Amino acid sequence: MALPFDPALLLSYGDSWDANRVQMLDHVVTLMYHSADAQRKIAHEILTQVKNHPDSWRVVDTILATSQSPDTKFFALQVLANVIATRWLVLPEQQKLGIKSYVVQLVIKISADEHFATTQKHFLTKLNETLVHIVKQEWPHAWENFIPDICGSSQRTQSLCENNLRILNLLSEEVFSFGKTHMVSKKVTLLKDSLNSQFATIYELCTFVFKSHISNPGSVKASLLTTALSTLANFLEWIPLGFIFETELIQMLLIHFWDPLEYRIECTKCLNEIACLHEGVQQYKPQLVLCFQGVVEKIQQLPENTPEACISLPGPQRVFWEVFHNQAALLLTAFLKHNMGAMEAQKAYMIPALKYLVRISMGPNEETFKICVEFWQCFSARIFLEIQQRRVQQQRLDLQTPLLLDGTPGPGGFGPGGFSAPGADNFDVTERLQLYSPILSEVRRVLISKMAKPPEVTIKENEEGHIVRAEEEDTDEIALYKMIREALIYLTHLDAKDMEAIMLQQLSQETLAEGTERWSPTLLNRLCWAIGSISGAMHEKDEKRFLVSVIKDLLSLCEMKRGKENKAVVASNIMYVVGQYPRFLRAHWKFLRTVIFKLFEFMHETFPGVQEMAVDTFLKICQKCRKKFVIVQQGEQMPFVEEMIGHSVQNIAELDHLHVCTYFEAVGCMISAASSDNKGRLVQQLMQLFNDKWANLLRSLALSSGSLDVLQNQQVLREISLILRVNERMVSAVGAACHSQLAGIYFDMLKIYKVCSDFISHSAAQQGSQVMGHATVRLMRNVKRDTLRLVQTFVETAATEQGAAEVGLTVQQLAQRFIPPLLEPVLADYRSNLPQARDAEVLDLLATLASRLSESISQEVTKIFEMVFECTCDMIKGDFQSYPDHRAKFYDLLKSINSHCFQALFFLSEGQLKLYVDSLIWALKHDQPQVADSGLQILAQFLERLLSGPPQVYVPFFKEYYFKLLQDILCVLTDTFHKSGFKLQQHILLQLIRAVECGLLNDVANKQRVMEFLFDLIGKSFTTLHRSQAEIFVLHCFNRSRQPPEFQQHIRDFLIQLREWGSHEDALYEDDRQGALKEAQAVDSQWRMQVPGLVPQYDPTRTQEADMDDI
């Protein structure tokens, strides 16, 4: 739909706007927020043009005065903020004063009127932000009195005072919280110093508000007091400490602002900021202790059951108490974490504080619980580590006692520098443990009852048909589990008997809960997770007694429960607990054997999840107890692994293919612990079942006659996939000892690979790319991928000196036996196939070959580039989205070649090397961070290795590519779309510049030429910069090139500068420019002086030598 007016009218600023023009803008803004997509797109384009027009800010006052639309007013302020942020330096002084005066007067007008301040609250907030943008540009150099002015005007009305405090709060956040990302470092430092130096005026304003309330309660609005407290809380982190500890501030907060509920949360935030102070507060420890005592006294006056009763309170009350408990937890833990020693000396206050933290830990709020868990983890760890140190010191003291007959404490004893004796400020560790014992016991109960779920491992088949064991990604729950686990381990060390008693008591309650109508498995799950989490924390003897009791109770509970679902819950907990205690299993063979057979029983249980848990637990136990299965145990006739191989067929009878693979991987872990002589034999015995299946399949395939009918049978393809996957899992567990097993199927496997490849290519040629979705083709691709993964896994595990020696071969012999027959068909198939039919696993395999068999593969790099590199580039260079797997694995391959076959890159043809460099540059510009980071890492490593090599290698390369690399890396660094790669981007720029600064590339790119190139490039690319700014940037790039941290800060400041239009007045930049030139000369002189004879004897820089005596 066309607009009812010409949008060009909105881009005309030669004459003043009237109400009609403002109504047009209102109409466009309304379309932007309340219309269909097509109209919204048109409106967005118009508004973007208006916003970016250099003169649009001139009509902001008319828009704000005339428009009735809040959205239009917001847009007008955005236009003004954009001008202030980007073009302020190029505005004439008179216009700056006009804008500043207009914004200040408008802020005063709206905020001084309480009705306006309330009804236009959001607009006022945006206006405040605009004013702060101006302050950041003008203060302190051009607006020295800003702080005194705003504080002085605050006493006119309470509404104006409240808004002024908000402005000061915004300014503090902009400087201290967000300054680093929005302003250059020098400017941030200047503003911080200015705020610190003028804070006394702000402090007087806050105390004026507080004292007015204290002297005349009810005379100050509650919202003003709340704003003053909130603003003060943000200031306390950075203000001079004297304002906190040498004034009445702390007592004022505790006496007048804690008890009223409307101020308590903001008051607690202020006290929390004080409690968090730890730098430079040593001289104020007495005041901190008094503050802690005052807080604890206030907390003791609170209702005892509030944290637990919170959940039953009405909505607003519940929210208040949850927020307060969160702030109280932060406050108490801050005191104790940052000043533990001083607070512990106050026993009468320490214990109530800890008790209140225990009560808060029981509350329903998850964030508060996390704060408490983190504290209990640190607190219990501190006590445990001190006990350990005390024991070590006592042992040293005992060794020294015969020599120290005069009773003088030895080093590390109880004298100065060691732990204080009982009765001193830091009372005895044992006494502390006894004092805290009841509290720590309660903590154990709370943490057990609220234990988080441990990370799960899920066995699944991904989209490419690959079996993966996927661990859960890091989530808040996993982080919480790790914290609780560590806390429970420390708490177990501090009192294992209490931990055991609590856990067994709770488990007994679960077993007695059979009579209850409703049984919730949640408590049992949490208890078992907690039991599993403390594995290894008890002495072995105690652990044995504890675990036997736990397993007995769980088995009896399993017998008591009715219904498959309930039994499955208990069974999964049994498997989890058993799997967490490998030390106990290793020490008790009969129990271990019983557990394994119980797991075999669970493998026949068809209830969802039980089989997966059984095979996963079986794998974990085999990984931890592998040696126990390959030796003859007392009372046994043969090693357990040989006995088990005999009934593997029955064990896997009801498992699906995924779990069969896990089962064989677990048995492979057992075999890996056998002697080298026995490994091969055990592998052959275990794999006989699948070797027989393989032989039967080969006979039925009738490959010699060229028949494809059998191979097109989907069940046959699934069987082949299973055989290959089982072999791959065996290889991953056993390693090189599987080489005979692999050799037995290897050439037939490659024949099947070739047949599948030909069939897919032929089908695609006849029917097009849609054939890739057919079930038979998908299964054939699975067979191909399984083949590639099997070879890749074998190379990863066997192609090491140790692995090859285990089977009496060298790495080169292994490579010669398996690699040549594979490369030709795989590479040829990859190049000839349709892009959709190419398997990314080929790239994966080649990357592994390059990293493990670098000597052999280096000779094949040219062929790999010819067969794989070019066609893959064609697949992925057209856009940034298609073929994501190929994209990622392609750069993994380049990284592998770059790391392990570096020299081979320089035997590539000129065209191939250019393609290699282009692919890295293309990766830098990729919009997927993973690909861009890979490109940056490869290029950085490539340049590092290149520059550390001989000049005859790097000089020709840089002659061809230096200026292209320099231009492209600067382009990516400044384009705002690749911020995540900043660290590596600036590192590559540093490598390129430092190489020139050090004189490595004088024949290719001398310093003067590179500086001129950068200066021209910056000038053409960023018209907003003045020539002096560009010159300063280039000079400092070379000046800072020998100090990487300073170089990085210089680049960061430059990127922030690019957002602003620079002034055209040279004088503003002359000091910086002259400073940069002097620094460049000093660096150059210092470098030249290090080379004897390079600086002439009578050069002025040798003035210091002139004062030396002539000897």
At 689, which helix (H) or strand (E)?
A: helix 676-701
Residue 457 DSSP one-character state: E
Return the SS3 of 467. Answer: strand
Q: Where are the alpha helices (DSSP H) in 883-1026?
A: 884-900, 910-924, 929-947, 951-974, 982-997, 1007-1021
Over residues 556-612, the pLDDT tens digits come to 888 887 778 888 888 888 889 988 999 999 999 998 999 999 899 989 988 888 888
Tell me phi and psi for residue 470, to 5 degrees: -95, 115
Note the pTM of the prediction, 2 decimals: 0.79
Band the pLDDT of 1064: cuts 50, 70, 90: very low
* Alpha helices in 401-495, H assignment, sequence order: 429-449, 476-494
- Of 1008, 910, 1005, 931, nearest to 965 by C-alpha is 1005
Q: Bridge partners of 852?
A: none
Question: Mind spelling out the 3-state secondary structure of 64-86?
Answer: HHHCCCHHHHHHHHHHHHHHHHH
With pLDDT > 70 as the criterion, what percentage of the chain qualifies?
89
Q: For residue 406, what pLDDT band results from cuts at 50, 70 and 90? A: very low
Residues 6+ apart with CB under 8 A from 241: 277, 280, 281, 284
- Tell me the per-residue pLDDT of 58-108, one tens digit each, with 9 for 90 and over: 888 888 888 888 889 889 999 988 888 878 877 888 888 989 999 999 999
Q: Which of 836, 862, 716 is nearest to 771 (CA)?
A: 836
Tell me what pLDDT residue 420 has.
Answer: 33
Query: Which residues are CB-neighbours of 332 under 8 A, at least 6 positions away?
Result: 295, 299, 353, 356, 357
Q: Calculate mean pLDDT across residues 787-810.
A: 87
Question: Rounded CA gap, 599 and 604, in Å?
Answer: 9
- DSSP 3-state assignment of 790? helix
Indicate the helix (H) or strand (E) that contains 460. strand 457-461
Task: Say yes or no to pLDDT of 265 above 60.
Answer: yes
Task: Give the C-alpha distances (Å, rounded to integers) separating 111 from 76, 119, 127, 203, 870.
Answer: 19, 11, 10, 21, 66
Q: Per mean pLDDT, which range of 204-213, 341-350, 940-949, 1089-1098 is the poorest?
A: 1089-1098
Mean pLDDT is lowest, of 502-516, 653-667, 900-914, 939-953, for 502-516
Q: Give strand pairing partners of 469.
A: 459
CB 584 within 8 A of CB 538: no
**Collapsed DSSP state (helix, strand, coil) of residue 1064:** coil
* CB-based contact 1054:1018 (threshold 8 Å): no
Helices (H) and strands (E) in the chain, counts: 55, 2
**Predicted confidence (pLDDT) at residue 660 exceeds the cutoff of 90:** yes
CA angle in degrees (0–180, nearest 5) for 893-895-896: 65
DSSP assignment string, 790-855: HHHHHHHHHSSHHHHHHTT--HHHHHHHHSHHHHHHHHHHHHHS-GGG--HHHHHHHHHHHHHSHH
Q: In the predicted model, is pLDDT for residue 1094 greater than 90?
A: no
Return the closest-CA partner of residue 616 out of 460, 477, 464.
460
Q: Which run of H or E residues covers position 669?
A: helix 657-672
891 exposed, middle or buried (CB, 10 Å; 0-12, 13-18, 19+)?
Answer: buried
Sequence-separated (6 or more) residues with CB below 8 Å from residue 39: 1, 31
Nearest CA-CA partner of 757 in 848, 661, 822:
822
Partners of 459 in beta bridges: 469
Gap between the Cα atoms of 703 and 774, Å rounded: 23
Partners of 460 in beta bridges: 468
Task: Give 461 or 692, the one with higher predicted confidence.
Answer: 692
Q: If you ran DSSP here, which 8-state letter would residue 761 be given?
A: H
The half-sphere exposure of 573 on its side-chain side, counting CA atoms within 13 A, is: 29
Q: Is the pLDDT of residue 802 over 80?
A: yes
Alpha-carbon gap, residue 226 to 454, rounded angstroms: 42
Instruction: Give residue for tokens 């607690």.
Output: 268
- Among the residues of 580-655, which ranges form H helices? 582-587, 589-602, 610-624, 640-646, 648-651
pLDDT of residue 412: 34
In angstroms, the Cα distances linking 316 to 310, 313, 328, 418, 913 are 11, 8, 18, 51, 68
- Name the β-bridge partners of 470: 458
